[in-house]
């Protein structure tokens, strides 16, 4: 069998699609592209697909990962071309690499994610003050509604670092442009996972920051944390084998 590791993006309206529906669309695309998938044994065989830390519903992502097993080897570049054409609009296959022998599980290379959270109508100054208060707090508890009811989690414990940038976004009504505070935040993988909504809730707790319109969150990267709070590319080891 051949193991391939894929990076794909979830963009546009598909950010509102659940992971279950994303997985179904992905499997349909694999069938349409005639990818020679390996299947599990038993009464109800399933294609051998392993998802790694899927992004929550309502957010976009440029760094989603999945591993598939094939019964016949294929060229990664050719797989990207044919499979991306079979994907629905907004689900874009970006890269495929052969899993390096003895390289361990892909999930073990993902310790944190970097999120870009756009807050239209929030000034960079107000956002910076709120982020400063958040980073200075030892504990920031927020509530999240789960299947088991309301749960309290410490959002601050998962936040590795956070910075603020500025952008101008187009508006459909006057004024034509709106100042947008942009939060770049690295969040450690925890159980339960701290999501962008939890980070926004933490800003509300420490600084009463309330965006006038819904924020837009995009996961920009995932990987292992380095000493400086950056993220190592989880496919770097496999890419070296594929290109070699």
CATH number at residue 116: 3.30.1360
36 vs 30: CA distance, rounded Å: 8
Domain count of the fold of the chain = 2
CATH code of the domain covering residue 53: 3.30.70.580
Q: Distance (Å, rounded) from C-alpha 1 to C-alpha 38?
A: 8
**Token digits of residue 95:** 């890269």
In a domain, 27, yes or no: yes
Do residue 149 and residue 209 come from a single domain?
yes
pTM: 0.90
List of long-range contacts for 83-86, beta carbons under 8 Å, 24+ apart: 83/29, 83/30, 83/33, 83/35, 85/33, 86/28, 86/29, 86/30, 86/32, 86/33
CA distance 65 to 99: 13
The parent domain of residue 40 ranges over: 2-99
Structure tokens at 44: 């109800």
pLDDT in tens, 77-103: 999 999 999 999 999 999 999 999 888
Shared domain for 156 and 218, answered yes or no, is yes
233 located within any domain = no
The tens digit of pLDDT for each residue in 30-84 reads: 999 999 999 998 888 899 999 998 899 999 999 999 999 999 999 999 999 999 9
């Amino acid at each position: 069998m051949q193991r391939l590791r894929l990076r794909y993006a979830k963009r546009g309206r598909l950010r509102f699609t659940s992971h279950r529906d994303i997985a179904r669309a992905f499997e349909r695309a694999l069938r349409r592209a005639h990818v020679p998938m390996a299947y599990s044994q038993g009464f109800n065989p399933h294609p051998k697909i392993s998802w790694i830390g899927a992004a929550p519903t309502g957010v976009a992502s440029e760094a989603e990962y999945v591993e598939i097993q094939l019964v016949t080897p294929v060229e990664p570049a050719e797989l990207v071309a044919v499979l991306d054409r079979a994907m629905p609009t907004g689900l874009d296959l970006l890269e495929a690499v052969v899993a390096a022998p003895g390289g361990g599980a892909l999930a073990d290379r993902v310790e944190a994610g970097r999120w870009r959270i756009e807050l239209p109508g929030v000034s960079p100054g107000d956002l910076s003050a709120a982020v400063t208060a958040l980073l200075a707090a030892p504990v920031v508890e927020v509530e999240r509604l789960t299947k088991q009811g309301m749960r309290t989690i410490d959002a601050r414990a998962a936040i590795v670092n956070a910075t603020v940038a500025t952008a101008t976004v187009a508006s459909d009504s006057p004024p034509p442009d709106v100042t947008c505070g942009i939060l770049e935040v690295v969040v450690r993988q925890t159980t339960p996972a701290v999501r962008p909504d939890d980070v926004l809730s933490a800003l509300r707790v420490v600084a009463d920051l309330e965006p006038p319109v819904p924020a837009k969150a995009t996961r920009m990267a995932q990987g292992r944390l380095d000493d400086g709070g950056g993220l190592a590319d989880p496919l770097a080891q496999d890419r070296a084998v594929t290109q070699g």
